[in-house]
Amino acid sequence: MDFIKKNYEKILLGIVLAGLIGVLVFMFFYISADHEAMVNSSNGYIKRTAPPLPDLDLSVESQALARVQGDYTLDFNTTNKLFNTMEWQKTADGSLIKISNGNEIGAGAAKVTGIHPLYFKLSFNETMTNEFGARYQVYVEKQAEKQLYKRRPEQHFVSVGDKNDAFELLSVSGDPSNPSALKVKLVDTGEIVTVQPGKPYQRVDAYSADFSYAPEKKVFNGKRVGDLVSFAGVDYLVQDVNQDELVLEDQSNQRKYTLPYTP
> What pTM does this model have?
0.62
- What pLDDT, on the 0 to 100 scale, is given for residue 6? 65
Q: How does DSSP assign the chain, residue by residue?
A: -HHHHHHHHHHHHHHHHHHHHHHHHHHHHHHHHHHHHHHHHHHHHHHSPPPPPPPP--HHHHHHHHHHHS------SSS-SSSSSSEEEE-TTS-EEEESSS-SSGGGGEEEEEEEEEEEEEEEEEEEEETTEEEEEEEEEETT-SSGGGGS-EEEEE-TT-B-SSEEEEEEES-TTS-SEEEEEETTT--EEEEBBTB-EEEEEEEEEEEEEGGGTEEEEEE-TT-EEEETTEEEEEEEE-SSEEEEEETTT--EEEEE---
For the chain, give the mean pLDDT: 85
Task: Give mean pLDDT, residues 213-232.
Answer: 92
Per-residue pLDDT reduced to its tens digit, 32-83: 777 777 777 766 655 556 677 788 888 888 888 887 777 777 666 666 555 6
- What pLDDT, on the 0 to 100 scale, is given for residue 122? 96
pLDDT bucket at 5, cuts 50 / 70 / 90: low
Tell me: pLDDT of 84 over 60.
Answer: no
pLDDT bucket at 105, cuts 50 / 70 / 90: confident
pLDDT bucket at 14, cuts 50 / 70 / 90: confident
Tell me: pLDDT of 26 over 80.
Answer: no
Per-residue pLDDT reduced to its tens digit, 151-207: 999 999 999 999 999 999 999 999 999 999 999 999 999 999 999 999 999 999 999
Task: Give mean pLDDT, residues 249-262.
Answer: 93
- What pLDDT, on the 0 to 100 scale, is given for residue 35? 77
- What pLDDT, on the 0 to 100 scale, is given for residue 232? 84
